[in-house]
Structure 1
Amino acid sequence: MTAKVPARGWLDRDEQRTWLAYIRLQLRLTYEINRQVQANSDLSLPDYDVLTALSVAPAGCLTMTALANQIGWERSRLSHHAKRMAQRGLVDLDQALNDRRVTEVSLTTAGRHALEAAAPGHVDLIHDLFFDGLPADLRAPFTAALERIYDNVLARGTLPRP
């Protein structure tokens, strides 16, 4: 049997270097951020992601589907996680008034306080690990590149746009 070849060929040396650099960074940053958030609060990184998305939403509330799209999770994963967060008092889950089939996730006062308590350490870590390693003259082109890649993922990926 002949091994399959990708439709557009294998990654060239530069593409492979770029991709592996991204993967190493993404995995290590996720580990470090998760470690820091858990060490300095009673939150996990997924908790922090949910609370952050809700904190910038109008009235601190999004439908389950909109929140899942916003943070890039499958709806079922968010549903299970949001139920655990609701049991801890970080969010409220309610049926939407205009459509009883829709669940709305709302940031509670306790959730906002937990996010506010965790945010300073999180931001300090982002400065230390991310921005201190990114020279100021590369920030704008790096940001532009990330935004283009994100737009491409939204256009070609499987999750609906946020």
Structure 2
Amino acid sequence: MRRTLSLAAALLALLAVAASGAWAAGSAHFIKNASSATLSGQSLACKFKEAGLASGSVETVTCSATQTIVYECVNNGGKNPSASNKQSFTRTVSRSGTFTADKNGNIVGSLTLEPLSAAQVGFSCPPGQTVTLVSVSYSNVSVTDTTSGASIALPGTFTFTNPSAPPVR
């Protein structure tokens, strides 16, 4: 009888431990005041802290944003001709990384979004002119843990304007 009670108690303890691990993984969330997006030159740094994960869990986190980028062609005189060789492109950009939760079930990290190159958006200049980045803006920024399903929106529009670019005519 004692052996049966001990076995039942051990089984209940095992179930409780298993359930608590599932609960911890199910309460994953980003900490709002420890998550942010900031410009670093023409790049966007997404910094985040996620809690409520199982200790040692490996999480795939993605930062994504709508990127609006403007390129122009500049001639050898440092001017941009008033032709149609200035264009704005809007694309969704993202960067992912893997992070391991610490013993308290937290991950702290950052991911950086870079401007798409002129070649990546299909922009080029005629001979004798140089491709120049005019500006890049990031909006609709979010960080998502595709493993746990947690997500947070990072509000704001973040714009870099190239001080070396001639004014767009």
Work out which structure has the larger RCO, using CA pairs closer than 8 Å and 6 or more positions apart in sequence. 2
Please say which structure displays the higher CA radius of gyration: 2
TM over 0.5: no
More strand by share: 2
TMscore range, shorter length: under 0.3
TM-score (norm 1): 0.19
TM-score (norm 2): 0.18
